[in-house]
Amino acid sequence: MEFQLSSNRDLAWKHQITTSPAHYTRQSALMSSTSKKHQSFCSEPMKGKPVTALPGIGPAHGSQLQSSGYRNATDVFGKYLTVHENCNQFEGWLRDESGAYAKQQGDCYRALREWTDNNL
The CATH topology of domain 35-119 is DNA polymerase; domain 1 (1.10.150)
CA gyration radius, the chain? 17
**3-class secondary-structure state, position 84:** coil
- Alpha carbon distance 66, 97 (integer Å): 10
Confidence class for position 9, pLDDT limits 50, 70, 90: very low
| For the chain, domain boundaries | 1-33, 35-119
Distance CA 96, CA 114 (A): 23
pLDDT at 83 over 70: yes
With 50 as the cut, is the pLDDT of residue 56 above it? Answer: yes
Distance (Å, rounded) from C-alpha 74 to C-alpha 80?
9
For residue 55, the 8-state DSSP code is: T
CB 57 within 8 A of CB 68: no
How much is the average pLDDT of 61-87? 97
Q: CB–CB of 75/51 below 8 Å?
A: yes
3-state secondary structure of 72: strand
Q: Give the model confidence (pLDDT) of 12-49 as tens digits.
A: 444 444 444 443 334 434 445 579 999 999 999 999 99
First to last CA, the chain: 39
77 pLDDT band (50/70/90 cuts)?
Answer: very high
Collect all residues with Cβ–Cβ distance below 8 Å to 107 and sequence separation of at least 6.
Answer: 35, 38, 55, 56
Task: Enter the pTM of the model.
Answer: 0.72
